[in-house]
A and B are shown apart, each in its own frame.
Chain A
Amino acid sequence: MSNKLPPDIAQMPSKPPFWRDAEKRAIAFQVVALLVVAFVSYYLYSNTQANLERQSIATGFGFLDKEASFEIGESLIEYSAADTYLRALLVGALNTVKVSFIGITLMIILGTLIGVARLSSNWLISKLAASYIEVMQNIPVLLQLFFWYAIFYESFPPPRQALNPFDGLFLCNRGVIFGVPETHAAHAVMGWAFLAVLIGSVFLSRWAHKRQDLTGKAFPTLRITALAAIGVPLLIWLAYGAPTAMDVPALSGFNFRGGVTVSPEFSALLLGLVIYTSAFVAEIVRAGIQSVGKGQIEAAMAIGLKPGQRLHLVVLPQALRVIIPPLTSQMLNLLKNSSLAIAIGYADFVAVTNTMINQTGQAIEGVALIMLVFLFFSLSTSLFMNWYNKKMKLVER
């Protein structure tokens, strides 16, 4: 046997010409694409270098150690104008985290309520929820922020004539002021006890699952946890002699003293973000609940599960799988939209960075910082939600 090919095939070129070879064409195509990107980057980079030199703007992040010399309206940590830019940026980042965290929590609660209301058999409730969703989704969030901010500044009276819907709560153009329990040693202990109960409940539920697998006996984990979570802090409170002193805001001069003040900027930002985003969450929740087939619930009834168990064991695990991915992107949307704070003067990370850019002229570093910080926030949120999503997915066997 010879390896020789038949003559007519041997005469053909062994390979197609290179412009007809898909592999080589792909390589050429990619090389060209990379070259174009590299060339454009180099061009922009060299222009930037030349411009910076001509305008004698320093590059690098050395300026972060300099004194910021601007005040920030509200801050979670101690800050004064004498602190460095780095600390000012930290204040901004913490303010962003604060408004996003509270916003996301409220958004999920409100969105779920409205989503469930949309499915209510009560015509009035369902239609109200539907119009809320339709209206709030279709109005730009920035317009909503301006609207709420204007309400605070124009429609609310000055502190002296503050609205007082019930004891301990005041609404005026300086913000929302409400009373809180006076700080007492008992509060810290109660907080830790609450946390301990929550951690304990994780172990309790593991044990209960194991026991049910072995013996078939169910254990009311949820009820016990709820009881302990309320009962234990209550007992501690009683043990400390039931301190009831309240730190109630009182008018003194032109402003309030005592209590907790939430600034109009923060309130308007929170209201706008939560109301806008919860309309989208409501649609997601509705779609998620509707995605669970009727047969599933009927099957759960047929094997004798109680209503609570049906929800907990059959409906929620399936609905959540549909809900979580779009919910994650709404959470990220709220986080990213919190950057609109700059338009109404809440000192979030973008607003602080913008002030810094105006003072130092370090535009490139400033914009890069904004992008990096938001990428970090977005990526960590989506990593967490992906982890949660995977955990929920395991329910499906």
Chain B
Amino acid sequence: MNQPNNPTREYLAAPISKVGPLAWVKKNLFNTWYNSLLTILTLGALAYIVPPFFKWAFIESLWNSSSDACRDIEGACWSIVPQNIKFIILGFFPEGQEWRPILAMILLLALVIYSKERSRWTKLLAWMWPIGLIIMGTLMYGGVFGMPVVETDQWSGLPLTMMLSFFGMVMAYPLGVLLALGRQSKMPAIKTLSVVYIEMIRGVPLISLLFMSSIMFPLFLPDGMTINKVLRAQVAIIMFTAAYIAEVVRGGLQAMQRGQYEAADSLGLNYPQTMRLIILPQALKIVIPPTVGILLSAFKDTSLVVIIALYDVLKTTKVTLQNPHWTGYSTEAYLFLALLYFICCYAMSSYSRRLEKELHTGH
């Protein structure tokens, strides 16, 4: 029992140069002479840019005023967003029926958020999706339960963007997987068809496919038959995205070792079984990051339908800016839209990172 008993011992704090905020600053900002110089220059540049921006965006700005009030101020006129929010979000959806697309969007968001947890990926969910989509479609189109019919050319704004991107991603994925399998196939005809399709689509810009759907496709159909414009654009987006997905999935398939195929063969599995049970689950998992990159591109690229005069959320914003009361506030309106896109993309990419971690079964 000889405990050290030294009441006069002093407990010194760690030296200030090693811990604490000062040490952090020295280590991360001023560790070498050129880093110090870089820090000072950057801070100088920030001091030059940030305060005027802050003043413009927050201090001298108006948030919900008439357009006339905006003419008298120096700062940002954020009012353009709340004053026109109905048109920016819903576009030309008929007066008095706005609750329908809003409800449909809420339903879609709710389903997406509910499906986030992997523990909820059950048979019930597999039923909920088609039923939910049918309800959304009914809400949008109407024609039953006393809801007047709203033709698809009146679908615009955010619901159109959401629809184009949702189906663009969901339908392109399986098509892309099929194309990737086709490209890996031993059958020369199937392989050639897949390769030609993938390389052709990847070599041309999405615009050319959208042009094809909007001005060339009507010539392909027999007299009197028409397919509506939104659907044509949707098909173009799906076809385009599928080719990119196919290339990403091919990367995953090529990373599979021969042993996996041989093991499946020796178990007596046939081709569909081998793919479904052995190869695809592994191959698709390792290509999650690039796949998400492609899906995000597809989401952002739906904005290109502006060029073939579909009224997605970017086009409704542009139309708002053509209103003589609100011309000249493009910066504010586009920044709002940028924020909207940023939030969606950021949410998707952080979800994919989580999914990747959850599905990781390696050691």
**Residues of A bordering B, CB below 8 Å:** 26, 29-31, 33-34, 37, 44, 47-48, 50-52, 54, 120-125, 128, 134-135, 137-144, 146-147, 150-151, 154-155, 336-337, 339-340, 342-343, 350, 354, 357, 363-364, 366-367, 370-371, 374-375, 378-379
Contact = CB atoms under 8 A, between A and B. Distances in A.
A123 B43 CA distance: 12
B52 interface: no
A357 B208 CA distance: 13
B222 A124 contact: no
A350 B338 contact: no
B219 A52 contact: yes
Nearest to A338: B205
B205 A337 contact: yes
B303 A135 contact: no
Return the 4 tightest CB-CB contacts between A and B, nearest first: A150-B330, A123-B28, A138-B345, A30-B189
Contacts of B207: 339-340, 342, 350, 370
Contact of A124 (B29, B206, B208, B342): B29
B235 to A, nearest CB: 14
19 contacts: A29-B187, A30-B187, A34-B189, A51-B219, A51-B223, A123-B29, A125-B39, A140-B314, A144-B338, A146-B318, A146-B334, A147-B334, A150-B330, A151-B330, A364-B216, A367-B215, A374-B203, A374-B208, A375-B203
B296 interface: yes
B189 A125 contact: no
Contacts of A26: 186-187
Contacts, number: 156
A143 B31 contact: no
Contacts of B187: 26, 29-30
A340 B206 CA distance: 9
A125 B38 contact: yes
A124 B331 contact: no
B109 interface: no
B341 A138 contact: yes
B53 to A, nearest CB: 13
A350 B223 contact: no
Nearest to B271: A22
Contacts of A139: 300, 338, 341-342, 345
A138 B295 CA distance: 12
Interface in B207-232: 207-208, 211-212, 215-216, 218-223
A25 B8 CA distance: 92
Nearest to A48: B219
A123 B23 CA distance: 13
B124 to A, nearest CB: 33
A145 B206 CA distance: 16
Contacts of B328: 154
Interface in B315-329: 318, 321, 328
B307 interface: yes
B55 to A, nearest CB: 15
A337 B342 CA distance: 19
Nearest to A138: B345
Given A125-B39, A336-B204, 8 more contacts: A37-B193, A121-B35, A150-B321, A154-B330, A336-B205, A336-B206, A343-B307, A364-B216
B314 A146 contact: yes
Contacts of B212: 367
Nearest to B339: A139
B219 A364 contact: yes
Given A51-B219, A146-B318, A340-B304, A375 B200 contact: yes
A364 B234 CA distance: 20
A144 B29 CA distance: 32
Nearest to A29: B187
A279 B198 CA distance: 26
B356 interface: no
Nearest to B302: A140
B342 A375 contact: no
A224 B318 CA distance: 55
Given A124-B42, A125-B42, A147-B338, A354 B208 contact: no
A111 to B, nearest CB: 16
A150 B35 CA distance: 37
A293 B330 CA distance: 47
Nearest to A46: B222
A264 B190 CA distance: 48
Given A29-B187, A154-B331, A374-B204, A54 B223 contact: yes
Contacts of B301: 140
A357 B308 CA distance: 14
A144 B334 CA distance: 8
Contacts of A147: 330-331, 334-335, 338
Interface string B344-356: 0110010000000
B337 A143 contact: yes
A367 B345 contact: no
Contacts of B35: 120-122
A147 B189 CA distance: 47
Contacts of A37: 193
Nearest to B218: A51
A155 B304 contact: no
Nearest to B185: A26
